[in-house]
Amino acid sequence: MWPLCLGAMLIIAITHWVYRWRNPSCYGKLPPGSMGFPLLGETLQFFSPNTSSDIPPFIKKRMKRYGPIFKTNLVGRPVVVSTDPELNYFIFQQEGQVFQSWYPDTFTKIFGRQNVGSLHGFMYKYLKNLVLNLFGPESLKKMLPEVEQTACRTLEKWSCEDIVDLKEATARMIFDLTAKKLISYDSTKSSENLRDNFVAFIQGLISFPLDVPGTAYHKCLQGRKRAMKMLKKMLQERREMQKKEQEDFFDYVIEELKKEGTVLTEAIALDLMFVLLFASFETTSLALTYATKVLSDHPLVLKQLQEEHEAILKRREDPNSGITWKEYKSMTYTFQFINETVRLANIVPGIFRKALREINFKGYTIPKGWAVMVCPPAVHLNAAKYQDPLSFNPRRWEGIELNGATKHFMAFGGGMRFCVGTDFTKVQMAIFLHCLVTKYRWRPVKGGNIVRTPGLQFPNGFHVQIMEKDQTKQEPEFDETK
Ligand code: HEM
Ligand SMILES: *[C@@H]1O[C@H](CO)[C@@H](O)[C@H](O)[C@H]1NC(C)=O
Ligand SMILES: *[C@@H]1O[C@H](CO)[C@@H](O)[C@H](O)[C@H]1NC(C)=O
């Protein structure tokens, strides 16, 4: 009798739990959508790889079935997915009031509990200013010659090699440049390689959070540990060195730490350094690889880009003088090209927030504590806003600055948490492209295929052969595609 009773109770309890999982309690009307399996939710479907460049099938299917706002469950959290421009706008505008940036636990374990993304209010504003000081327009102006030198020298080196994996090589270039700006790190002079610790990262971030030897997640955490140890050691050494004036970000941080009543701690500074190193090289190298691939596939776009950059050289008195800020600002087509590249690359497939209180929007209720995910690909590939959304057409951006299309462009986020690296990214991309299209030509050799999980990936890299342009001959490169 007892076991039967217990069994029945267990079944009732489980049934109730499953029912609650599928029908979370809410005073209002939850958006439509399925919460998936207990515990797993729809996590596996969400991360399932696809080669399409369209809106991820996971999102597209649900948009069709449920409309622009729907609920689901990812990594154990109830999530409302928003593909609705007005809700997106509302979410970005209400940062800190109704919504707060939120990352899954796996992210905070890897990036540190005190990373910028997880900080709010005063501390967040403080850090943001710190970073803008480093990557804002004033610093970028000063940085321009260095960025150009790095790009040109790197390309020169690549042209001497047989084949270069652009995904790998651009990541190395950008990491080295950023690490130099931040901590004056020189990979050629260091016994330990700092970047090696960041390599297994993307896989670790989006993998199942199981911290046992052999898993991607474990490797990722180990990488963080080693990288943090190195950063800590470097900070320590620098403190003992006693520099006179501020040169890099470390010096700046050391000055800040010395100030009386400062809110900055060493732990926060180190977490920040780690996030910046990661955020810069992984995203920008994807964007540059994507850009080069697009140029290989679109000879006319390449031609127009080339014309813009050759015209800059022609206007100069000394063609070998470096790029000026004025010249940089004049690269209209290049900026349109960069916009179009990041619109279609959709490097960031989801931007997460947490609801700080219950919200009613367009007849739906988002309960307090739920996560919301803004879905940039759904915005960037919306046929109502971008005609023929999958075609690559930089000219579509012509005149767009006049009507401030921020609601329909969120590759760099929006609102208060707009990416602080946007300008830095654009400088690096524009300058690299300048050197590439004026001095070199290239031939894709292998790889270049794209997989989205749903984040952009080049599983086989993008291997190209880079050759110096023969300045004396007419370029045959456009004929090759005919
Ligand atoms: C193609 C390149 C890049 C893309 C697509 C990109 C995208 C984004 C997006 C979408 C956000 C908003 C996240 C959110 O709202 O939760 C963001 C934030 C951020 N980005 Fe970038 N980013 C890029 C390059 C960079 C670079 C080069 C840096 C480093 C200097 C950087 C540093 C950051 C930081 C620190 C934040 C957090 C800001 C905050 O929480 O307020 N990003 N980025
Ligand atoms: C991508 O998703 C589409 C639509 O769901 C599906 O038909 C296709 O098989 C998927 N392709 C790959 C390579 O996963
Ligand atoms: C790129 O997109 C942003 C956001 O919509 C816009 O403000 C900017 O003017 C665009 N740049 C160009 C050159 O079209």
Closest ligand 2 atom to residue 51 Cα is: 13
Atom of ligand 1 nearest to the CA of 276: 29
CATH class of the domain defined by 30-112+347-380: alpha beta
Is residue 419 annotated as involved in ligand binding?
A: yes
The pair of structure tokens assigned to 452 is 């989205």
Q: Angle 215-346-67 (CA atoms, 0-180°, nearest 5)?
A: 100
* 163 alpha carbon, distance to own chain's centre: 26
| pLDDT per position as a tens digit, 169-180 | 999 999 999 998
Q: How far is CA 130 from each of CA 4, 69, 140, 247, 255, rounded to the nearest angstrom?
A: 65, 36, 14, 14, 12
Element holding 44 (H helix, E strand): helix 43-47
CB 351 within 8 A of CB 319: no
* pLDDT tens by residue, the chain, 482 residues: 677 788 888 888 888 888 888 888 888 899 999 999 888 889 889 988 999 999 999 999 999 999 999 999 988 889 999 999 999 999 999 988 899 988 777 777 777 777 777 677 777 788 888 888 888 889 999 999 999 999 999 999 999 999 999 999 999 999 999 998 888 888 777 777 888 887 766 666 666 667 888 877 888 888 888 888 999 998 888 888 776 666 788 888 888 888 888 888 888 888 888 888 888 888 999 999 999 999 999 999 999 999 999 999 999 988 788 999 999 999 999 999 999 999 999 999 999 999 999 999 999 999 999 999 999 999 999 999 899 999 999 999 997 764 545 789 999 999 888 899 999 999 999 999 999 999 999 999 999 999 998 889 899 999 999 999 976 555 555 544 44
Starting from the CA of residue 48, give the closest ligand. Answer: 2
The bound ligand whose nearest atom lies closest to the alpha carbon of 330 is 3
Question: Among 470, 457, 31, which residue's Cα sits nearest to residue 202?
Answer: 457
CB 423 within 8 A of CB 327: no
Could you say which DSSP state residue 352 is in? Answer: E
Q: To test the ligand 1 pocket, which listed residue (409, 419, 432, 433) has its Cβ within 8 A of the most ligand atoms?
A: 419
Dump pLDDT digits (tens) for 329-353.
Answer: 999 999 999 999 999 999 999 999 9
Which residue ranges have their beta carbon within 6 Å of ligand 3?
A: 335-336, 339, 397, 400-401, 405-406, 409
pLDDT in tens, 237-270: 888 877 666 678 888 888 888 888 888 888 888 8
Name the residue at shortest CA distance from atom 31 of ligand 1. 421
Q: Is 51 close to ligand 2, i.e. is its CB under 6 Å away?
A: yes
Q: What is the pTM of this model?
A: 0.91
Give the separation between CA 347 and CA 425, rounded to whole angstroms. 13
* CB 424 near ligand 1, within 6 Å: yes
Amino acid, single-letter form, for residue 231 = L
CA of 438 to the centre of ligand 1 (A): 29
Q: Over the stretch 350-386, which tens digit does the pLDDT of each residue have?
A: 999 999 999 999 999 999 999 999 999 999 999 998 9
Say how far apart CA 428 and CA 156 lie, in whole Å: 17
pLDDT by residue (tens digit) across 455-472?
A: 898 999 999 999 999 765
Calculate how far, in angstroms, residue 53's C-alpha sits from the geometric centre of ligand 2: 11
Number of other residues whose CB lies within 10 A of the CB of residue 121: 9
Among 468, 423, 441, 334, residue whose Cα is nearest residue 144: 423
Q: Residues 415-423: contacts with CB within 8 Å, 24+ apart?
A: 415/91, 415/92, 415/93, 415/95, 416/92, 416/95, 416/96, 417/92, 417/95, 417/101, 420/128, 420/131, 420/132, 420/135, 421/135, 421/276, 421/279, 421/280, 421/283, 421/284, 423/135, 423/136, 423/137, 423/140
Query: Cβ neighbours of residue 459 under 8 Å, at least 6 residues apart?
Result: 449, 451
Pocket lining: 135 vs ligand 1, CB cutoff 6 Å:
yes
DSSP element (H, E) containing 232: helix 216-241
